């Protein structure tokens, strides 16, 4: 295809499966240490890191910016809508062009499943995957596991993932990450939005009552409308059957917490009165996103 081959191996983070159980726990402990310590060491001083997000993002991109700057590094934010992409340049040619400017790493997000794995065959500097299609979102899984570990002190938890699971890269990375720690994962949603089978998952059900019985964590997901070609009619109404609200949260034990990767759709998958309640860890997840990504940058780039 007329592209350079990578000569030197570098550490990347493309999938949660790139990390062993011990490596995940090291990142979690490092993230929580940096959160407690606050004054971080400038280990990225002199490093230039490009964020190249070919799909929209608030949390992932800006928490990476915060993490890079917190570690003393420089951010170069590539914005496709005002770039030579608009003149027909391809994504890989864009990354090779940016790499030629002596940058030290990429954080990427892309619509196409598997694109970061293809790119790493040609790119010499480390690539961190900030989400590819319906495939993987490893740093989301790491910040979620950091949040669960911080709250419960362990990860062998009972976790019910509720919502549009088959279009969710978050569901994949989180499930695969938690299974390494012996968690019990349940999946719940309308039959159009849950898989028939998922390796290692103990329960796949259309019943919210069954899914939430005895759980530690309710992990709600939004409907990924941008990935669905033809939406079933009244999708929002359809999803209200699975909404986590002040009534349905009672299907779970009192100690159970609500998590959501964001962005959430108010009063669709989560109700107004529960989203920032004392049961919710949603903003803690966002905060931990900064420190988990600092720990990832330390491992991959510093």
Closest CB to ligand CP among 114 and 262?
262
Sequential DSSP letters for 53-65: ESS--SHHHHHHH
Identified binder of ligand CP from the candidate list 51, 60, 134, 136, rule CB under 6 A:
60
Listed residue (197, 11, 240, 31) closest to 104, CA to CA: 11
Residue corresponding to tokens 């002190």: 153
Q: Determine whether 139 is an active site residue.
A: no
Cα–Cα distance measured from residue 232 to residue 74, given in angstroms and rounded to the nearest whole number = 44
Cα–Cα distance measured from residue 24 to residue 142, given in angstroms and rounded to the nearest whole number = 7
Q: Determine whether 35 is an active site residue.
A: no
DSSP 3-state assignment of 143?
Answer: helix
264 binds ligand CP per the rule CB under 6 A: no
Cα–Cα distance measured from residue 289 to residue 263, given in angstroms and rounded to the nearest whole number = 14
Task: Point out the catalytic residue in the list 65, 137, 158, 298.
Answer: 137
169 binds ligand CP per the rule CB under 6 A: no
Residue corresponding to tokens 């065959």: 121
User: What are the residues facing 184 on neighbouring strands?
Assistant: 158
Closest CB to ligand CP among 232 and 263?
263
Closest CB to ligand CP among 168 and 248?
168
Task: Point out the catalytic residue in the list 47, 65, 109, 167.
Answer: 109
Note the residue count of the chain. 302
Closest CB to ligand CP among 139 and 248?
139
Task: Point out the catalytic residue in the list 35, 47, 51, 60.
Answer: 60
167 binds ligand CP per the rule CB under 6 A: no
Closest CB to ligand CP among 102 and 226?
226
Q: Determine whether 240 is an active site residue.
A: no
Phi, psi (deg, nearest 5) at residue 19: -115, 140
Q: Hey, what are 282's tokens?
A: 């949603």
114 to 143, contacts with ligand CP by CB under 6 A? 131, 140
Q: How far apart are the first and last CA of the chain?
A: 32
Closest CB to ligand CP among 186 and 293?
293
Closest distance to ligand CP from the beta carbon of 140 (Å): 5
Closest distance to ligand CP from the beta carbon of 291 (Å): 15
Identified binder of ligand CP from the candidate list 73, 116, 138, 261, rule CB under 6 A:
261
Q: Determine whether 51 is an active site residue.
A: no
How many other C-beta atoms can be found within 10 angstroms of the C-beta atom of residue 113? 13
Identified binder of ligand CP from the candidate list 58, 90, 113, 273, rule CB under 6 A:
58
Closest distance to ligand CP from the beta carbon of 126 (Å): 20
Identified binder of ligand CP from the candidate list 80, 190, 195, 262, rule CB under 6 A:
262
Listed residue (35, 19, 74, 29) closest to 291, CA to CA: 35
Q: Is the Cβ–Cβ distance between 116 and 110 less than 8 Å?
A: yes
Cα–Cα distance measured from residue 257 to residue 259, given in angstroms and rounded to the nearest whole number = 7
Q: Determine whether 205 is an active site residue.
A: no
Active site residues: 59-60, 87, 109, 137
Kindly list the residues in this chain that would bind ligand CP in the complex (CB under 6 A): 57-60, 131, 140, 261-263
């Amino acid at each position: 295809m007329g592209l350079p081959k990578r000569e030197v191996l570098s550490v990347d983070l493309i999938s949660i499966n790139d990390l062993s159980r011990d490596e995940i726990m090291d990142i979690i402990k490092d993230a929580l240490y940096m959160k407690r310590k606050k004054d971080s060491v400038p280990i990225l001083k002199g490093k230039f890191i490009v964020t190249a997000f070919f799909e929209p993002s608030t949390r992932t991109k800006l928490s990476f910016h915060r993490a890079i700057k917190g570690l003393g590094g420089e951010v170069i934010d590539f914005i496709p809508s005002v770039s030579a992409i608009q003149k027909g340049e391809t994504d890989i040619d864009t990354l090779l062009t940016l790499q030629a400017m002596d940058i030290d790493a990429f954080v990427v997000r892309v619509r196409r499943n598997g694109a970061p794995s293809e790119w790493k065959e040609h790119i010499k500097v480390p690539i961190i995957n900030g989400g590819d299609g319906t495939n993987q979102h490893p740093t989301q899984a790491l910040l979620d596991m950091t949040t669960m570990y911080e709250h419960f002190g362990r990860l062998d938890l009972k976790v019910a993932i509720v919502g549009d699971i088959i279009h969710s890269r978050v569901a994949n990375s989180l499930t695969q990450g938690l299974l390494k720690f012996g968690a019990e994962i349940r999946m719940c949603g309308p039959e159009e939005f849950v898989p028939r089978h998922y390796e290692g998952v103990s329960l796949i059900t259309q019943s919210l009552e069954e899914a939430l019985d005895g759980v530690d964590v309710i992990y709600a997901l939004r409907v990924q409308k941008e990935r669905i070609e033809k939406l079933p009619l009244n999708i929002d109404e359809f999803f209200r059957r699975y909404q986590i609200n002040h009534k349905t949260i009672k299907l779970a034990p009192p100690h159970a917490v609500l998590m959501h990767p964001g962005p959430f759709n108010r009063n669709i998958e989560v109700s107004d009165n529960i989203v920032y309640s004392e049961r919710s860890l949603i903003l803690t997840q966002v905060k931990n996103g900064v420190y988990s990504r600092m720990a990832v940058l330390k491992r991959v780039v510093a």
